[in-house]
């Protein structure tokens, strides 16, 4: 979804009435606020119980609004969900917060209990109920064509519901939504297809991804439109990966969608290794970066085999991937070939080992590296790698590094010490601003 928070609409009744039509909920007369509860943190899904309406009214009185999560005033994420379920999906389990600060919502425990109990829907809805609800949702899809960003959010929540009736409805409407000219609606449909694993949409989503600009070329002239294009492209990339569309991997890699490539896991590795040996510099660079981000357990055996690869760049990418995830098996595999790694691989290993095995293990390796390395930048990186915690051994190592003959090594040690102790240490003039940043 677009990251910018949508402006509040002046005609609140019209907007909420439209959402009511979309989700098919009758809200009590004392509350004009419909809502779609997300299946997150075991929160309830849908309810029109008066107790829920009273909670929503109290949230609105305190300043919470629908679609305001980006500003910390989300009606559902920051108020309703935490009150009813004790959970804010954006930050984990917590109480209600307004602009990030805890706030008391004056509602009774009886209303909380009643709302939570009423909102739990049965999983085995009757066939007739499912057909009726599906027909209603299918008939109301046209509401989305107004291009209202908030309606698009509501649509996605409704269409991605675990409710079987919503799944039935989506089968009738998602192709129409994928073709919608409104970019927000299109993005909602793409994400819903991925969340519901609807592979019927793969061809259209692949076509959207290939034909749509990523937004960068538009950002200078219209940053909002550029962001919308970017969000649709990213949603399409993630959904293609979620649906296991391996035919889209070349395009995903060319457009540097590394997060999507990572979702393929070990399935993508043979293709990535082939591309990493390509004579095309861009393909090679992208493939190496994608390999370095592989974290799934199934890819571990293949990544370990790459530690013996004759190409040092591929070996480095495998090291980066193996140490990226805290896993004893992965770390031990890299440790076994530590002396065969190039300097960047050794730096990556020491950084990971410092966090998993402790500074007592990492510091001797760092000292040996700094003693033998002739590259000032890599020595400085090693100093940074071993500074994983501010324990006495690390502080002593950094203070010893202040005496090194190379200015960059001393500068990095000074910066790390500044971060741990919040004291000023002598450093070269060109590093002062960066060290000051670390201090705070």
In which residue are the tokens 């008066």 written? 50
Segment among 53-67, 91-105, 199-213, 384-398 with least mean pLDDT: 91-105
Residue 336 lies in a domain: yes
Complete DSSP assignment for 154-189: HHHHHHT-S-HHHHHHHHHHHHHHHT-SSHHHHHHH
Looking at residues 148-176, what average pLDDT do you find? 55
Strand partners, 65: 74
Verify that 140 and 206 share a domain, yes or no: yes
Per-residue pLDDT, 87: 66
Neighbours of 308 (CB within 10 A): 10
**Are both 218 and 302 inside the same structural domain?**
no
The H helix count followed by the E strand count for the chain is: 24, 4
Residues 193 and 142 in one domain: yes
**Alpha-carbon span 86 to 171, nearest angstrom:** 33
Neighbour tally for 142: CB within 10 Å:
11
402 domain residue, yes or no: yes
* Angle at the Cα of 283 from the Cα atoms of 268 and 346, rounded to 5 degrees: 75
φ/ψ of residue 176, rounded to 5 = -65, -40
192 vs 178, 188, 239, CA distance in Å? 10, 6, 9
Reported as type and span, the H/E element at residue 228 is helix 223-242
Q: Using DSSP, state whether 98 is helix, strand or coil.
A: strand
Average pLDDT over residues 184-200: 79
- Together in a domain, 78 and 136: no
Beta bridge partners of 98: 101
**Residue 384 · residue 392 · CB < 8 Å:** no
Is residue 6 one of the residues assigned to a domain? Answer: no
**pLDDT bracket for residue 226 (50, 70, 90):** confident
Indicate the pTM of the whole model. 0.57
User: Quick one: 330 and 428 in the same domain?
Assistant: no
Instruction: Choose the weakest-confidence range: 15-24, 170-179, 378-387.
Output: 15-24
At residue 74, φ and ψ (nearest 5 deg) are -65, 130
Confidence of residue 271 (pLDDT cuts 50, 70, 90): very high
141 and 236 housed in the same domain: yes
The token pair that represents 282 in the structure block: 């861009």
Considering the domain architecture, whether residues 368 and 326 belong to the same structural domain is answered as: no
Beta bridge partner(s), residue 74: 65
Choice between 365 and 66, residue whose per-residue pLDDT is larger: 365
Q: Looking at the structure, do residues 229 and 263 belong to the same domain, yes or no?
A: no
Q: Domain boundary residue among 180, 212, 243?
A: 243
Which of 92, 119, 146 is the endpoint of a domain?
119
Tell me the pairing of strands 97-98 and 101-102: antiparallel
Number of domains in the chain: 4
> What's residue 426's pLDDT?
62
Of 50, 72, 54, nearest to 63 (Cα)?
A: 72
Residues 62 and 103 in one domain: yes
Torsion angles phi and psi, residue 36, rounded to 5:
-120, 115
Query: Domain boundary at 341, 361, 396, which?
Result: 341
pLDDT, residue 364, reads: 94
Which domain, by its residues, includes 21?
A: 12-119
Q: Would residue 205 count as lying in a domain?
A: yes
Integer CA distances (angstroms), 438 to 140, 187, 415, 423, 431, in order: 53, 38, 7, 11, 11
What size, in residues, is the chain? 440
For residue 295, being part of any structural domain is answered with yes
**b/e per residue, 233-248, with b = 16+ CB within 10 A?**
bbbbbbbbbbbebeeb
pLDDT at residue 101, as a whole number: 84
Q: How far apart are CA 35 and CA 220, in angstroms?
A: 36
Q: Are residues 199 and 278 in the same domain?
A: no
Residue where the block lists tokens 């739990």: 120
Query: Cα dist. 51→119, 169, 223 in Å?
Result: 10, 29, 42
Measured CA distances, 362 to 257, 366, 382, 394, 395 (Å) = 33, 6, 10, 10, 13
In a domain, 1, yes or no: no
Domain co-membership, 329 together with 357 = no
- Per residue in 296-316, pLDDT (tens digit) is 888 999 999 999 999 989 999
Domain contains 135: yes
Nearest to 229 by CA among 174, 190, 287, 282: 190
DSSP 93: E
Burial classification of residue 74, based on how many CB atoms lie within 10 Å of its CB (0-12 exposed, 13-18 middle, 19 or more buried): buried
Q: Are residues 39 and 112 in the same domain?
A: yes
Please answer whether residues 287 and 309 qualify as being in contact, where contact means their C-beta atoms are separated by less than 8 angstroms: no
Question: What is the average pLDDT value for the chain, to the nearest integer?
Answer: 74
| Per-residue pLDDT at 154 exceeds 80 | no
C-alpha to C-alpha distance for 302 and 390, rounded to whole angstroms: 35
Whether 249 is in a domain gets the answer: no
Q: Please tell me which residue, 32 or 201, carries the higher pLDDT value.
A: 201
């Amino acid at each position: 979804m677009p990251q910018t928070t949508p402006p509040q609409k002046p005609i609140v009744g019209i907007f909420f009435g439209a959402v009511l039509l979309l989700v098919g909920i009758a809200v009590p007369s004392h509350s004009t606020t419909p809502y779609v509860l997300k299946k997150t943190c075991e929160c309830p899904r849908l309810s029109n119980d008066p107790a829920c309406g009273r909670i929503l009214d109290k949230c609105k009185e305190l300043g919470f609004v629908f679609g305001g999560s980006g500003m910390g005033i989300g009606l559902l994420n920051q108020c309703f969900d935490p009150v009813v379920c004790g959970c804010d999906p954006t930050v984990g389990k917590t109480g209600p917060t307004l602009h990030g600060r805890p706030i008391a919502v004056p509602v009774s425990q009886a209303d909380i209990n009643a709302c939570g109990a009423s909102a739990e829907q049965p999983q085995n809805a009757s066939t007739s109920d499912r057909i009726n609800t599906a027909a209603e949702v299918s008939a109301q899809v046209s509401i989305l064509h107004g291009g209202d960003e908030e309606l698009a959010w509501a649509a996605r929540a409704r269409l991605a519901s675990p409710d079987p009736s919503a799944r039935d409805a989506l089968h009738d409407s998602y192709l129409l939504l994928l073709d919608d000219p409104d970019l927000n609606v299109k993005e909602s449909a793409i994400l819903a297809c991925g969340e519901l694993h609807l592979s019927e949409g793969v061809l259209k989503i692949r076509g959207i991804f290939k034909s749509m600009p990523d937004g960068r070329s538009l950002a200078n002239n219209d940053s909002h439109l550029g962001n919308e294009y970017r969000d649709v492209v990213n949603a399409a990339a993630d959904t293609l990966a979620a649906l296991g569309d391996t035919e889209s991997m070349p395009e995903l890699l060319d457009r540097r969608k590394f997060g999507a490539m990572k979702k393929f896991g070990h399935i993508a590795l043979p293709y990535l290794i082939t591309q990493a040996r390509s004579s095309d510099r861009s393909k090679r660079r992208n493939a190496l970066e994608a390999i370095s981000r592989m974290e799934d357990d199934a890819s571990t055996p293949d990544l370990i085999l790459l530690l013996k690869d004759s190409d040092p760049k591929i070996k480095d990418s495998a090291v980066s991937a193996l140490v990226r995830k805290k896993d004893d098996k992965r770390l031990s595999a890299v440790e076994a070939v530590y002396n065969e790694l190039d300097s960047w691989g050794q730096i990556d290993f020491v950084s990971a080992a410092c966090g998993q095995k402790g500074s007592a293990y990492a510091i001797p390796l760092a000292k040996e590296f700094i003693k033998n390395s002739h590259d000032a930048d890599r020595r400085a990186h090693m100093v940074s790698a071993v500074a994983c915690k501010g324990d006495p051994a690390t502080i002593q190592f950094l203070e010893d590094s202040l005496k090194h003959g190379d200015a960059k090594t001393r500068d990095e040690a000074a910066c790390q010490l500044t971060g741990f102790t919040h004291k000023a240490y002598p450093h070269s003039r060109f590093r002062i601003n960066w060290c000051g940043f670390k201090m705070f």
